[in-house]
């Protein structure tokens, strides 16, 4: 098994950023974090930052967005879901990854959205 822990070590969090097992890479839930913490401005900049961070993680494994097969979305305000979806679909081609989405009452660090991703090599 291969672990990627660069960001979790930098942010002193008790988990791995990703775990590679056979032909799959499971990415931990991602918030809209940059080097200064949670980006400001709500759902749109947070979602864009999550995909920027995902791209960096995919690059580490020499993968791209076409390798994403599943996502799990946790969003604080379901009224933001249409804005989120507009950004989300802009990163993928058909067939889109399978997805589960949940409205939640709170997220770590006060985030508006958190997404887990599963990639296949």
Token pair recorded at residue 18 = 């990703």
- Alpha-carbon gap, residue 58 to 51, rounded angstroms: 10
| pLDDT at site 12 | 65
Provide the sign of the torsion angle of the four alpha carbons 70, 58, 25, 80, taken in this order. Answer: negative
pLDDT(68) > 90: yes
For residue 98, what pLDDT is reported? 98
Residue 39 in this model has a pLDDT that exceeds 70: yes
Q: What is the pLDDT of residues 2-18, one digit of tens each?
A: 666 566 556 667 778 88
Three-state SS sequence of 90-118: CCCCCCCCEEEEEECCCCHHHCCEEEEEE
Q: What is the dihedral of CA 103, 53, 35, 77, to 10 degrees?
A: -10
Among 120, 62, 60, CA closest to 95:
120
pTM of the model: 0.91
> Residue 111 and residue 10: Cα distance in Å, rounded?
19
Cα separations in angstroms, 40 against 11, 70, 82, 108, 111: 18, 27, 19, 15, 10
Residue indicated by tokens 């960096």: 56
> Can you give the pLDDT at residue 102?
96
């Amino acid at each position: 098994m291969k672990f990627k822990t660069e960001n979790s070590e930098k942010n002193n969090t008790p988990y791995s950023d990703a775990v590679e097992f056979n032909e799959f890479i499971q990415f931990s839930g991602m918030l809209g974090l940059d080097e200064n913490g949670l980006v400001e401005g709500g759902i749109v900049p947070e979602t864009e930052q999550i995909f920027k961070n995902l791209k960096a993680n995919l690059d580490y494994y020499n993968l791209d967005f076409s390798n994403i097969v599943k996502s799990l979305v946790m969003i604080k305000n379901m009224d933001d879901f249409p804005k989120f979806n507009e950004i989300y679909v802009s990163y993928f081609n058909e067939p889109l990854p399978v997805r589960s989405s949940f409205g939640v009452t709170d997220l770590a660090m006060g985030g508006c959205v958190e997404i887990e991703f599963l990639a296949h090599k």
